Every structure is written in C-alpha cells, then in structure tokens.
Chain A
Amino acid sequence: MPLPSALPAHALAVVSLVLGLSGCAVVMAASGKPEPDLSVCTIGATAEQIEAQLGEPTSTQALPDGGSECRYAFWKGDPPSYGRAAAHAAADVLTYGLWEVIYGTRMEASGDPAHRYEMRVTYGADGRARDFVVERLADEEVEVLTGQVIEGAPLIDPIDARIGVHYPPELEAAVFKDRRLFAEGTKTREFRLRLGPSVVQLFDAALGAQFAAVEVIDRWPPTAAGRPDVAAVIEPRVEQATLDRVKLSVTLYRPDGAAYGAWTVTGRAQGDWPPSNAEQATARVEFALRNAAVQLLTQFRDQAPVRQMLAETGAGL
C-alpha cells in the first residue's frame, strides 16, 4: 500500500498531538471545578474527615495550647463551561496545539479567582475541629516583607540595668492581612504583611540603646528554678498591622513572671496611597514601624510600668 503524501501525514500528526494535549484545558473547562462537600466541616470533625474533602492544607501553624491552625484552599461555584471548552479546542487546532502548551492549561488550572475560597480550621489539642472561618480569596495577593527599621544606634541615654526580652514564637511567624479594593472597586488585592523579623530587629535596637545590657529570654514564663538574672523582662507583640498603622503592645514583667503592666504604641504609615505593588506597601509599613519605634524610644521612661520598675529596682536613678 502506498504511503500517504506528506501533507495528510503532517496533518494527522498535528491532530493527534492536539487531541492528546487537549486532555487538559478542554476537559478541564468542560468539567469545571469539583465542589467539596462542606457538610463534613462540623465542630468535632477530625482532620482526616475534613481533608478527605478539602485536600492537604496549604499551611499549618502550631498553637500555644497544643492545637493547630490549618488553611485549605478550595473552589466553589465554578461550573462546567462547554463554551469555554469549545473555544479551547478551536484555539488548539488553529495554533497546532501551541495554545494548549503556552496558555490554555495554565489558564484552566489557575481558574477564575472569583471562585477561590480559603477555609481556616482550628484544631484543638485532641485533633478535632473547634472553629471554622471561610473567606473568598483575593483576586491578587501581594506579599509584604519588611526589612530593617532602625539604622544605627538611637540617641538615648541608657538605663543602667540589664533587661530581658522574650519574643513569643508566634511573633516572627505572624501574617497580617489587609484586603483593599482596586480597579474601581471591582477587584480585591490582599496584602500579606510579614513584619515579625522587623519587630525583633526594632526591639533589639531599641532596648540595646535603652538599657546597659540586653538578654534574650527563650523560655517564658520562668520556672521557679530558672529566673533570669535581669531587672525585668519585656515581651513585645504585634496587636494589629495594616497598610495604615502598626500597633505594638509591650508587656513588662518582673523576673518572677508577675507583670508590672503593659502599654501600646501605634505607628502611622505614610507614603504612596493606594499602594499598587509590594515595594510601595512595604515602604508604608516600614514607615509605620519606624514611627512606632520613635514613640517607643522617646516615651519609654514615661510609661507607668517602666516608672514602677525603675522605682523598685533603683535602676536609672
């Protein structure tokens, strides 16, 4: 039997290739995104029951009480679209399959952001769910990672005392979300602020200037046998962080773990508004952190817990 001419063979190869590849975008568009059965998400459900529907968590964070917080991403309300499937098939044929390779599959895999959701499940120490929070994921996500806030040594007359500082484990890992509307209010952009390392650097520099010596305390509160040899211990936390402000709380403890008291400092942000990218958002949050550092440093001795500590220990007199 004579071989077919080159053209039909070429066409056959292209069609085969297209049909093979179109298992992706065309089929994905025609089948839509499967919706999980959320009825299993009830108080007391186990992680296995929930993950059978939602899949593996996108992130897991241990909680101080022995529990954990897991985040699951899922799709809801993204139905099959035969029109979109037909459009993919046509584009595949017209581009000899290149559409599939370059764009089609990726487009279908990423899906319509309007249908992406996240469920945050808090598990107790017994491994059973005790709280659920569901929210629609933003159309765009912007990671904001702040850097060094204080450069050089602040001009402060130091208190002649040794201070301890305890950074809670959740401080460095904490992520604060700030969701804003953009594109004439039709889309959401979520800024994820990770400022824990900057806060640690801020307190390292601020306390280093404010006291004669600083000791980082890993375990807090102390055991009866393991009281640190310091005048007091400071524990910073981030109460709130947005693109407008950063609110820090500072708790001052006696070495035995009893609290002198706490106060807050709020740093206000400045800069480009609204921020349209990570750089502008980072600059705003860094300004707010720096502003908080100014207040922390210039008003430190005026705080009632600090005055009480100085009076009790005789430091700085």
Chain B
Amino acid sequence: VTRGWLRTVPRRGKASRPDRLLVAFGLSSVLAGCLPVPLPSTVEAARSPTARTSEAAPASQLPRPLAPGEKVVIIAAEPEDSFAEGVREQVAERAPTIPQLAEDDFRRALFPWFQSGWPSERPEAFERAMREQAVRRRIAELDLRYLVEVRGDTEENASFTSGAPYPGAMGWGRPQTHLAAKVWDLKEGRAFDDAAVETSGVEFLFWAVYGVYLFSMTESKATAEVADRLILFFEGKPPPPEITASGQ
C-alpha cells in the first residue's frame, strides 16, 4: 500500500489527486488540532462574595465601597496559575477606575506574609498576619483595602472516536471550569465568603497534534463572571442573583 501511494507522487509538476487528498487531510487535521471549534459556554453556578449573607443582611453589612485612592490586589492561590491574571485583566478592562496593586509588588511589600502557598484556607493564618503591627502599618501605607485570592481549575472531559487521542482521531470535549475568589477586607480585618463560578461548554476538535487543548471559552467566561461580581462588591453594590447548578 505504501509503495502504491508513493508511486502516485510525481517528482515535478502538478500534484495528483491522491496527493491533493493527502495534503488536504494533513493540513485540515493540523489546523483543526490547533483550532478547536468552540460552542458557547454557559455559567452553571455563580455566587458573589456576599451572596450568603446579603439577602437577609441589613445594608450596613454590605461591603463599604472603595474610598478614593483605596486599592485592591488580586493574587493567585497557586503559583503559575493564570486564573488570577485573567480576573485581574477582566476587572481592569470592565472597571478601569478601580486601582489595582500588582501581585509581585504586594508580595514584596508584605513579606513574609501572604506569600505563595500561605494557608489561606485557615482563618487563623489571616488573623495571625493581621496581628502584626508592621503588617497593618504597611497596608495603611499602601492604602490597600481588598485582597482577593483566586483559585481555579478546568476539567477537560475529552472523548475521542478512536477511544484515545491518536493523531487524526476526531474528538470532543465538555470542559468545566471551577473558579473561586476569596476576599478579605485588609483594613477591617475580616474575610468574606468566596465568590464562586462554575462554567461549562462543549468544544469539538480534531486530535491531530498532541497536547493542543484550548478551553479558553469556559475559562474566560468564568473569569468574566467573577470579575463582574467582584466589581459590584468593590463598589458596594448589591450582588446579582445567585445562580445555582440546577438553573437560575
């Protein structure tokens, strides 16, 4: 069979029909492997930082809006995690008037507290840091109000016609992105419930090139939803309705 195919390849001149088919198949496979065809992603569940307390809570318990000059900082829970960067960019794009402190500057200024890998899930870790006068003084100098820590992951959930991602195999994915943003008020020394978002979508792709996955649709949808909720929170506005996994 191989010799037969090779015999149809001319040395010069126009390609024969089998040649063109081969080239077309190869090119389309490569291109499709690099560029999955995205379908719209949907938000399956979402809640705001104050979602658990705001409905029954008096207005005084709503977050105080940022005062002029006050900053926020959005950091990654895990090193080299790009979700925090996504949320930072979305907040900057949608609300450019909200001043943000760069993550590196924040970590440098607050060393050794709030460094990469600090046990943020333990309330005592935050309380311990805030007991230091030097920390409170530095936060006041920076005029820093809210600390947001973003944690996220995307499940690929991919399937392939051949059962495995062999070159040329057609595949589809049902990616799900889970994103959570924990907020602390550094000036009042208190923590809020997480803002959490779950998005899912469907993408078709040809698996022609190993390791190429672009599930950016679910991730960008999730970071945008979290950014919207954070912006309302920073502005002291009531949160949008909570979305549950079973629908609105």
Q: Which residues of A contact B (CB under 8 A)?
A: 150-152, 154-157, 268, 270, 290-291, 293-294, 297-298
Contacts and interface: CB of A to CB of B under 8 A. Distances in A.
A290 B134 CA distance: 20
B112 A293 contact: yes
Contact of B134 (A155, A270, A291): A155
A298 B128 CA distance: 8
Interface string B118-141: 100000000011001111001000
A294 B107 CA distance: 11
A156 B137 CA distance: 11
Given A268-B117, A270-B79, A298-B128, A157 B134 contact: yes
B110 interface: yes
B20 interface: no
6 contacts: A151-B111, A152-B108, A155-B138, A291-B115, A291-B116, A298-B128
Interface of B: 79-80, 108, 110-113, 115-118, 128-129, 132-135, 138
A290 to B, nearest CB: 8
A280 to B, nearest CB: 14
User: Which has the most chain B C-beta neighbours within 10 Å: A151, A156, A297?
Assistant: A156
B146 to A, nearest CB: 19
A154 B108 contact: no
Ranked nearest first, the 9 interchain pairs of A and B with the lowest CB-CB distance are A155-B134, A297-B112, A294-B112, A294-B115, A154-B112, A157-B132, A157-B133, A155-B135, A298-B112
B112 A156 contact: yes
Contacts of B117: 268, 291
Contacts of B133: 157
A154 B115 CA distance: 12
Given A151-B108, A293-B112, A156 B134 contact: yes
Contacts of A156: 112, 132, 134
A151 B134 CA distance: 16
A151 B111 CA distance: 9
Nearest to A294: B112
